[in-house]
A and B are shown apart, each in its own frame.
Chain A
Amino acid sequence: MHIITLALLLGLYLAQPALAHFGAIIPATDIISPADPTELGLEVKFIHPLEQHYMEMAKPKAFGVRVRGEVQNLLPTLLPAKGRSREQPRDFTYWRSTYSVKRPGDYLFFLEPQPYWEPIEDLFIVHYTKVCVNALGLEDSWDQPLGMETEIVPLSRPYGLWTNNLFSGQVLLKGVPAAFAEVEVEYLNASPGNPSLVVPPAAPYVTQVVKADANGVFHYAMPRAGWWGFSALSEADWTLPQAGEQKAVEIGAVIWVRTRDMQ
């Protein structure tokens, strides 16, 4: 009897679609024009973007911005906030920041979170995440890598993208193109201006999956206006201790881009 119950439970568990976790930096906008406010709000999260699930997020290890070749530490600007999806029974921590954009240029915001222990996958997750905000028309560094352990370097300029544009990027692992890397793609259902929540007709629609070519280059056409997350996953060549055992670490290179409808 117990074995049958256990088997049933296991079956239910296995039937759950594998949810894709995404580190996220979502700025209030991707482009600052001369007439726009110079205060930029940013949300830093660990989420299931399409399903709007939050995961508890510890204060990141690193959070900053690189502009005109200079790196600024923005960790002290982070303030905790709480959020949850309608299905979640409790609140989870995410982080907010406000950044004052003073000069023209590409602002590359980046995040290195604390390792997140995921018991059902028996591994740690670390998503190195970035997003590029352009200010005042100087498009100077969006295509330059930040030098993170793993990183998606955009081949399409990562702002001013129309809906249905093809987004291309190159996955780097320790600065070297990651051949045939798997890239997960998700739409942020909480995107500002999303007219109605996207309801996936079947589990594979939650997370789109594309593979990079031999040079680590991948492409994906984004069918809806809003924010899109791209996450290239690898296994780290280092481990972390958990309950006396060394556990594998999934490292993700994540980039967020925003599309808008042609009007």
Chain B
Amino acid sequence: MPWKCLHLPVILLLALFIFPVSASAHKVNIFAFVEAGVVYAESYFPDGRPIVAGQVSVFDSQGELLLQGETDQDGLFQFPLPKEDVLRLVIDAGMGHKNSYQLKKTASNE
């Protein structure tokens, strides 16, 4: 049955598209808090593994992009509090894996 042998690489290739990496099946998360004027953002998969090199975008309450950055090896990204406002942090880990966290103004004042 030579046709089976021919199709196998095609099937494997398709499988790569369907299951690119196991981590992509997991939801990405971002959380942040403010301490002494610095915003500490943490990104993680549900099991606690960090999201490495995730793109983080920070928006103000008007939806204006304030800054962008990338999470480090531990899934962390920190930056000086850019504005006394309700901030929305969006993490984009590629392949449509996105999530956001709203940082309350009261939390910024803590």
B-binding residues in A (CB < 8 A): 34-35, 102-104, 136-140
Residues from chain B with Cβ under 8 Å of A140 in the complex: 47-48
Provided the pairs A34-B100, A35-B102, A104-B42 are in contact, do residues A138 and B27 lie with their beta carbons within 8 angstroms? no
Residues of B within 8 A of A35 (CB): 102
A-B contact pairs, 18 of them (CB 8 A): A34-B100, A34-B101, A102-B33, A103-B33, A104-B29, A104-B31, A136-B29, A137-B44, A137-B46, A137-B99, A138-B29, A138-B31, A138-B44, A138-B46, A138-B48, A139-B47, A139-B48, A140-B47
Q: Which residues of A contact B99 (CB under 8 A)?
A: 137
How many Å lie between the Cα of A34 and that of B44 in the bound state?
A: 14
Contact residues in B for A102 (Cβ distance below 8 Å): 33
- Which residues on A sit within 8 Å (CB–CB) of B33? 102-103
* Residue of A with least CB distance to B88: A34
Given contacts A34-B102, A35-B102, A104-B42, contact A136 B48 (CB under 8 A): no
Say yes or no: A103 contacts B48, CB within 8 Å: no
- How far is the CB of B1 from the nearest CB of chain A, in Å? 41
Cα distance, A137 to B30, chains bound together (Å): 9
Question: Other than the known A34-B102, A137-B44, A139-B47, what 4 A-B pairs have Cβ atoms closer than 8 Å?
Answer: A137-B27, A137-B46, A138-B29, A139-B46
Q: Which 7 A-B pairs have the closest CB atoms?
A: A137-B29, A139-B46, A140-B48, A104-B31, A34-B101, A136-B31, A138-B44
Q: Is the CB of B31 within 8 A of A103?
A: yes
On whether the beta carbons of A104 and B44 are closer than 8 Å, the reply is yes
Bound complex: CA of A138 vs CA of B44, how far in Å?
A: 7
> Which residue of chain A is the closest to B99 with respect to CB atoms?
A137
CA gap between A22 and B31 in the complex, in Å = 36
Give the residues in chain B near A137, CB-CB below 8 Å. Answer: 27, 29, 44, 46, 99
Shortest C-beta distance, A181 to chain B (Å), equals: 29
- Bound state CA distance, A137 and B44, in angstroms? 8
